[in-house]
Structure 1
Amino acid sequence: MDQFHDIRPYNDSEVTGVLKDLVETPDFINTIIAFRFAKWPRFLHGPLSFLVKTALKRQIGSISNVHEFQMRVANYMERMIKTTTTNVEYRGIEKLDKNVGYLFLSNHRDIAMDPAFVNYGLYLAGLNTVRIAIGDNLLSRPFVSDIMRLNKSFIVKRSVNGIREMMAAFGQLSSYISESLMKEQSNIWIAQKEGRAKDGLDQTDPAIIKMFFMSQKKEKIPFAEAMGNLKIVPVSISYEYDPCAFDKAQELHQKSTTGNYEKSETEDIDSIKNGIVGQKGKVVVTFGDVIKDDFGTPESFVAEVDRQILTNYAIHSTNEAAFALQQGLPSTDSAFSSYLEACPEELKETVLAMYANPLKQQKKYLNTQHGSV
């Protein structure tokens, strides 16, 4: 029996059937039309639906396994990078061994693009692409789940209720991650905490580390050894411009002023779309060092992950400009000043904090390390 059938990515043998079902899914077709033909009148949706389905059938006709699907995704990535970034830089990737399965524990800015940029770097370097952890909160529409699982995503059950159910879900997830890494030498990508760091503050959730340990704890493996077995590599992803910054700021502002924020039904899909098509400027992905079995507690392990993510974070001119403006100094980046002009006035302080916080975090950490106050 496949104990991971409800959370694992699709296998090669399932790809053809899933793709055929997708093309016949009205919600999927209508989403493409809304995305690609947003300004076209509604009375043309019928003919557009036929044309989209015909085009998709032609495109998927040659796809029979996960690798072929990901090669199609790579083509879209190349196009997206050319149109929405000024440069993408990978640091530290030369340290990785293609014969080892790594657990890439990453800071989190963008729902789809964070793992996509990691994946693309691995692909360019001739390494195996990652299995991507995604929360089931993103999968309210079945076609989204299908597309994600075709692209080697596995599901984190965040919506389960009750302690027993939650522990069972964590145990299944921990076992899946350990088996992927240690038995299959597959790479894994997972965010350092649940949800994006909308305020620009990157901090690892100790619960994630404890979840990693669960499956090996059952086998009486000490914590430090268990963590060493997982070959965990902290990853820092930084964007010169965040395409979803104003939307994130709106959410943070509303929470701070009203104490509440209600997501719209399409908000996660819109965030994915905006993250893909929005301008990002320069993107830097930095792979840290494999964490050895030197850390005997979750707390000490978290501290090491945070140390690497914060110190390896690539600071952009936008971070420096936001920091300067917070200090009441002139902006150090005229392009960032122009960017801020498009921001609603009530959100500007929140957006400035979002861009300044990575630099402030890094400065604070480095000062602490050097004994400064």
Structure 2
Amino acid sequence: MAFSDSSRQSLIPNFLYSSSSIKKPLLPEKMLGAGSISSSAEQRSFMIPAPSEPIKRIEMFSPRYYAACAVGGSLCCGLTHMTVTPLDLVKCNMQIDPAKYKSVSSGFGVLLKEQGVKGFFRGWVPTLLGYSAQGASKYGFYEFFKKYYSDIVGPEYASKYKTLIYLAGSASAEVIADVALCPFEAVKVRVQTQPGFARGLADGLPKFVKSEGPLGLYKGLVPLWGRQIPYTMMKFATFENTVEMIYKYAIPRPKDECSNSLQLGVSFSGGYIAGILCAIVSHPADNLVSFLNNSKGATVGDAVKNLGLWGLFTRGLPLRILMIGTLTGAQWVIYDAFKVSIGLPTTGGAKPAAVEHAKA
């Protein structure tokens, strides 16, 4: 049964397309009998041509580009942080109650005994929503500020001082991202470290606001900035430079000649190395955030006095290195895989390549 050459056909209803984009299909003559195809038969057909318009490409540094980066950032941060909720929960409890949660293994044992398997995922909803909001702001605004600061100083200085561009762009983005994260982080820590306080975000948020007031949700914002801004500066600057060195010294061909899978492998390697350094730099502030959000009316001075200077830098650090290294490597893989899937180049290692058509 042969169709006309002009009939690239689809089963999509024709009301989804404008009349100008639809060509009338031709039905096989055997189905209509001898003679030419009548116009009434054409109108009865449910077969229409597929749309012929080309898929719009995403132009680099356009609003659509930054929006796409924000979506990728939301996915990579929200999903990875939610996945490591059990590790995060043990870490937070080790920071708050070291007498009870003496080590990683004993911490998991205590949680399993007291709260069961479900206890390992307590606080996953504020974690998912909070870090999705943070990731969207962090990655979207990082790409924006990186381009913005490069344009201000010009191509010569942007190339010469690219690490400073990475640091300034990531710091600016994180200031905004933490405003989105802070309320969710406050509720998450309270839910995870005070059994019986609330089951999750839905009942925990109103309880927190009733106890601390609306501004109490931002009580930990300054320590959060103290944790996240150095963390993010280290994360993006180290990643960009590590990826550049991998392509320069470890891979014997240009980035644009490498397969997508190899490029994503480089993204994971660069992300994991960056994550280890991020964990070390930001860990004292992470201890402060956990302490302040767990104790009503607590101050930074109280935290330092309670934890001690050595404890501030080391308590829960090995677990956090494992968690943040893995998490950061996975984030860059998810982020760059998303970019590749919509026709954008992976991050770092070369000047942005020509953007391909976005894939359906």
Q: TM-score, normalised by structure 2?
A: 0.23
Q: Greater strand share, 1 or 2?
A: 1
Q: Greater helix share, 1 or 2?
A: 2
